[in-house]
């Protein structure tokens, strides 16, 4: 399990748009804090709540110099539709293969919903060197992070 002070694994995935643009985490390291918000699945109530809450606080995160990325196993098309429907302005990253989810040791199954190999809800803040300065992993994927604590962690990562 990835812990605070670990170097975050770099990865390549696909942006959650219909254009299927490549996303490289390495391209965002060094530009201020990076927030990686892993979520189980678009269009589910807890995930919608979380992504909308991050969007609602986007200006505060940007004022702190942070860039937010939501990461899930959803297809880029699904993520694009999700962003459009909920007015999400930050990028979502599609990890349909589950490679990123496994690198971050977040793979879970929610059998009662027929979901396998998806991301547990988790948030990591990376500083400008790619070091994990904040880590929160849900005990239950229906739980959401403490957004004030997360913003405080972002502000601390810039010091």
Task: List, for residues 49-83, the tens digit of each pLDDT value.
Answer: 999 999 999 999 999 999 999 999 999 999 999 99
Q: Where are the domains of the chain?
A: 6-158
Catalytic residues: 47
CA distances (Å), origin 135, targets 104, 125, 130: 11, 7, 13
Q: Is 98 helix (H, G, I), strand (E, B) or coil?
A: coil
Taking the CA of residue 11 as centre, how many other CA atoms within 13 Å lie in the half-sphere pointing to its CB?
20
pLDDT tens across the length of the chain (159 residues): 889 999 999 999 999 887 789 999 999 999 899 999 999 999 999 999 999 999 999 999 999 999 999 999 999 999 999 999 999 999 999 999 999 999 999 999 999 888 899 999 999 999 999 999 999 999 999 999 999 999 999 999 876
Residue 81 Cα distances to 8, 74, 153, angstroms: 29, 11, 30
Which fold, 6-158? Glutaredoxin (3.40.30)
Record the tokens describing residue 89, joined without a space. Answer: 């302005």
56: left (phi over 0), alpha (psi -120 to 50) or beta: alpha
Rounded Cα distance, 9 and 154, in Å: 19
């Amino acid at each position: 399990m990835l812990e605070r002070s670990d170097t975050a694994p770099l990865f390549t995935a696909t942006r959650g748009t219909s254009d299927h643009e490549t996303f490289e985490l390495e391209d965002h390291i060094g530009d201020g804090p990076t927030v990686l918000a892993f979520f189980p699945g678009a269009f589910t109530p807890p995930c919608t709540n979380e992504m909308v809450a991050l969007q609602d606080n986007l200006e505060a995160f940007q004022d702190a110099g942070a860039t937010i990325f939501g990461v899930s196993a959803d297809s880029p098309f699904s993520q694009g539709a999700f962003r459009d429907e909920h007015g999400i302005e930050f990028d979502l990253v599609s990890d349909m293969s589950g490679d990123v989810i496994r690198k971050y040791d977040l793979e879970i199954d929610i059998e009662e919903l027929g979901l396998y190999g998806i991301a547990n809800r988790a948030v990591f803040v990376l500083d400008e060197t790619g070091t994990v300065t904040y880590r929160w992993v849900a005990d239950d994927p229906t739980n959401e992070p403490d957004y004030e604590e997360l913003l405080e962690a972002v502000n601390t990562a810039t010091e």
